[in-house]
Structure 1
Amino acid sequence: MQISKDTAVEFHYTLSEAGEQIESSKDGEPLSYIHGTEGMLPGLEKALEGKSAGDSFSVTLEPSESYGERVDDLIQRIPLKHLQGNTKVWKPGMTAIVHSNQGRHQVTIVKVGRFNADCDLNHPFAGKTLTFDVEVLNVREATREELAHGHVHGEGGCGHSH
């Protein structure tokens, strides 16, 4: 089956910039998404279109096709209690997850105070030309429930109630 609108896709990727590996899913769980529902970077989704399980390919994306250009002075003060991550102590340079009305965002901590942190709201990969090495593992029709929820469900369902 080929990747097309409303297919559930599972793939491994290795992400690099200028030949330097930044991150990889190979040591953990593969990434999964529903094709055509804006749940994936536009340039990567375009490259995945028409591929099948077992296909491997490489694609290089300009910032406009991935995380956008950096915006200078995109700093916001955020209460420490709203920062999520694997740490109790925040330090400049660390990344954290923040949930807002617009969804989940990855931010970089610039300065930490007693109750708040000044955070750079640019995605850490903004302004970078990125290369994705992709290995497609699985392609199938998304279920009605997955389409309604907008994401792929694991074997035990999706784990959240609606």
Structure 2
Amino acid sequence: MSELPVGPNTKVTLHFSLALEDGSEVDSNFEAKPATFVVGDGNLLPGFEEALFGLHPGEEATFDISPEQGFGPHNSSNIQRFSRKDFDEDVELEPGLMLSFADANQAELPGVVTQVDSDTVMVDFNHPLAGHTITFAVKIVDVVPAVTH
């Protein structure tokens, strides 16, 4: 096992969990195979990566990641109003339903229905974890130099 600390140009294998302010767990791989990523590859948000810097294999730590360092603040302009007529009649619209939309570049954009009435449908395009401080618990399994080409 390596003694290399997590930092730029490293490949990190770890167990992690994400929890909300109330302690409810959002995601965890502590009971599964550990995840592996290369620092800076985009698999982990920069705020989460930076929290790991300096940790060595075998170390465990818990961090509170602010919305600004995590999934961003909740932005009210990301809530859009649609006409009920914009949706197929056979779609059962109800709060909490996640739908897939296409953005201006035709990329997939998930949105969550927040409100429905006979004429309008309100859809929130914020990331579901936006606006939340996330408790990020980790156990570093291994750190090795990243292979660069």
Instruction: Establish whether TM, by shorter chain, passes 0.5.
Output: yes
Structure 1 counterpart of 2:9, from 6, 9, 15:
6
- Structure 2 match to 1:46: 50
- Count of residues in correspondence between the two structures: 133
* Larger gyration radius, structure 1 or structure 2: 2
Q: CA deviation at 1:55?
A: 1.0
- Structure 1 match to 2:65: 61
- Contact persistence 2:40–2:46 (CA under 8 A): no
Given the superposition, is the C-alpha separation of residues 109 and 6 from structure 1 closer, same or farther in structure 2, using an over 3 Å criterion? farther
Identify unmatched segments of 5+ residues in structure 1.
81-88, 146-162
- Structure 1 match to 2:124: 120
Given the superposition, is the C-alpha separation of residues 109 and 138 from structure 1 closer, same or farther in structure 2, using an over 3 Å criterion? farther
Q: CA deviation at 1:138?
A: 1.7
- Cα RMSD after superposing both structures: 3.2
Structure 1 counterpart of 2:144, from 140, 143, 147:
140
Aligned residues with identical type, % of pairs: 28
Cα distance in structure 2, aligned partners of 1:75 and 1:123 = 11
Structure 2 counterpart of 1:26, from 17, 25, 30:
30
Given the superposition, is the C-alpha separation of residues 107 and 26 from structure 1 closer, same or farther in structure 2, using an over 3 Å criterion? farther
TM-score (normalizing by structure 2): 0.69
The higher relative CO (CA closer than 8 Å, separation ≥ 6) is in 2
Task: Report SS of the residue matched to 1:144.
Answer: coil
TM-score (normalizing by structure 1): 0.64
Aligned partner letter, 1:12? H
- Structure 2 match to 1:83: none
Aligned partner letter, 1:3? V
**2:68 aligned with 1:74:** no
Q: CA deviation at 1:22?
A: 2.2
Identify unmatched segments of 5+ residues in structure 2.
none
Cα distance in structure 1, aligned partners of 2:136 and 2:78 = 27
Q: CA deviation at 1:16?
A: 1.3
- Contact persistence 2:17–2:25 (CA under 8 A): yes
